[in-house]
């Protein structure tokens, strides 16, 4: 004896199957949605880096790295960027009292108080990759005072990037370190 199922029953069964499949998919989507917000468990990943043009003198923003160094430092305003990975990248120009100049493309990661040297710039506009392109912790010692100054005075508040590319550039251009810009607590 053959059993025939009416069209309305077939449609109801198909609808029920579609509803079950949608519920299963929604459950998986909700699970992935919640995972996307669980940033604490995700490993940090650096974004890919594009080297900027070699700086022009007109775009250099001098900053004071303190009395413990005889070097003069400047950042190329056009090279400053805040990456989606939380790294502030910039071109640094270092000048000795005798006029010798070094150009480097670097990054500072506020979260870990580390810096990375990506490349060295040459007067002909070319770049050569740094052989030490790894993250290294910096301190306020004379050897890397410029990095600590940039991080503390212009880029970072604690372990967080303070502001946008435009705000950081403005602070450097106006020679207004964060301590002069942020309201005092209390």
Lowest mean pLDDT among 5-19, 65-79, 113-127, 131-145: 5-19
Could you tell me the domains of the chain? 57-181 (2.40.128)
* Pairwise pLDDT comparison (53 vs 33), residue with the higher score: 53
Average the pLDDT over 165-186 and give the result: 81
Confidence of residue 53 (pLDDT cuts 50, 70, 90): very high
pLDDT at 60 over 50: yes
Query: Percent of the chain having pLDDT more than 70?
Result: 74
* Pairwise pLDDT comparison (142 vs 42), residue with the higher score: 42
Average of per-residue pLDDT values in the chain: 83
The predicted-structure confidence for 97-154, as pLDDT tens digits, reads as follows 999 999 999 999 999 999 999 999 998 999 999 998 899 998 877 677 899 999 999 9
Please state the pTM of the whole predicted model: 0.74
pLDDT at 186 over 50: no
Place of tokens 């010798």: 100
The answer to whether residues 113 and 72 touch, using CB atoms and an 8 Å cutoff, is no
Average the pLDDT over 160-173 and give the result: 96
Q: Quick one: how far is CA 81 from the chain centroid?
A: 7
Average the pLDDT over 21-29 and give the result: 57
DSSP characters over the chain: ------HHHHHHHHHHHHHHHHHHHHHHHHHHHHHHT-GGGSPP-PPP----PPPPGGGEEEE---TT---EEEEEGGG-EE-TTSEEEEEEEEE-TT--EEEEEEEEETTTTEEEEEEEE-TTS-EEE-TT-S-EE--SSGGGHHHHHIIIIIIEETTEE-S-HHHHHHHHHHT--HHHHSPPP-
């Amino acid at each position: 004896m053959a059993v025939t199922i009416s069209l309305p029953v077939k449609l109801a069964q198909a609808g029920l199957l579609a509803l079950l499949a949608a519920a299963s998919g929604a459950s998986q989507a909700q699970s992935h949605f919640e995972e996307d917000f669980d940033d604490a468990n995700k490993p940090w990943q650096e974004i890919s880096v594009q080297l900027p043009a070699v700086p022009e003198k007109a775009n250099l923003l001098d900053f004071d790295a303190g009395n413990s160094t005889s070097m003069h430092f400047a950042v190329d305003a056009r090279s400053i960027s805040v990456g989606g990975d939380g790294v502030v990248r910039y071109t640094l120009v270092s000048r000795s009292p005798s006029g010798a100049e070094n150009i480097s493309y670097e990054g500072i990661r506020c979260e870990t108080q580390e810096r990375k040297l990506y490349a060295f710039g040459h007067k002909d506009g070319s770049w050569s990759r740094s052989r030490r392109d790894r993250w290294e912790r910096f301190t306020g010692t004379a050897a890397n005072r410029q990095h600590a100054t940039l991080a503390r005075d212009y880029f970072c508040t604690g372990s967080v990037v303070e502001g946008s590319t435009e705000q950081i550039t403005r602070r450097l251009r106006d020679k207004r370190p964060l301590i002069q810009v942020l309201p005092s607590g209390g």
